[in-house]
Amino acid sequence: MKTVPEILKEIRPEFDFTASNDFINDGMLDSFDMMTLVSALDKNYGISIQGTDIVPENFKNLQTIEALLRQSGAKP
């Protein structure tokens, strides 16, 4: 199973996601990337992230993404 930073690196290899605390405002993830990420997380962790959870606050940084995964039933 891939880790969240590994999945992010596959989506946007040019960015260092460990160096940012706000992926959205730092321009590292756009809305298309967010949907790609949701799809990758669903597949990787065998979950289904809810539509109402697909909001920028949940994709702000590694901590919020991991919290979202836990809330969706995964163990990141």
Partner 1 sequence: MSPVRSAGEVLEAIQKVKAGATAFRTNFFPVQSKLESWVAHDELTTETRDNVTFFVRKDRDFAHLYFCAASPSAFGGEIGQLSVIRTHKLAIDIVGPEASLTELLSLAEQGGFRRYSRLVRLARVASPITPTFVPAAPGINVAIKGDAPEILALIEGSFDRFADQLPTLYEIEAAIAARQILIIRQNEQIAALVFFETQGLTSTIRYWLVAAPFHSHGLGSTLIRHYFSSQPAVRRFILWVTATNQNAIQKYQHYGYAPDGLVDHVLVSEPVTS
Residue of the chain from 3, 18, 48, 71 that contacts partner 1 (CB under 8 A): 48
> What is the Cβ-side half-sphere exposure of residue 33, based on CA atoms within 13 angstroms?
17
Tokens of 49: 């992230």
Which range in 2-10, 12-20, 62-70 contacts partner 1 by CB under 8 A? Answer: 12-20
Residue that is written with structure tokens 């969706």 in the block: 72
Q: Is 11 exposed, middle or buried (0-12, 13-18, 19+ CB in 10 A)?
A: middle
Q: Which stretch binds partner 1 (CB under 8 A): 3-11, 46-54, 58-66, 68-76?
A: 46-54
Residues interacting with partner 1, by CB under 8 A?
A: 12, 14-15, 22, 24-28, 30-32, 34-35, 39, 48, 50-52, 54-56
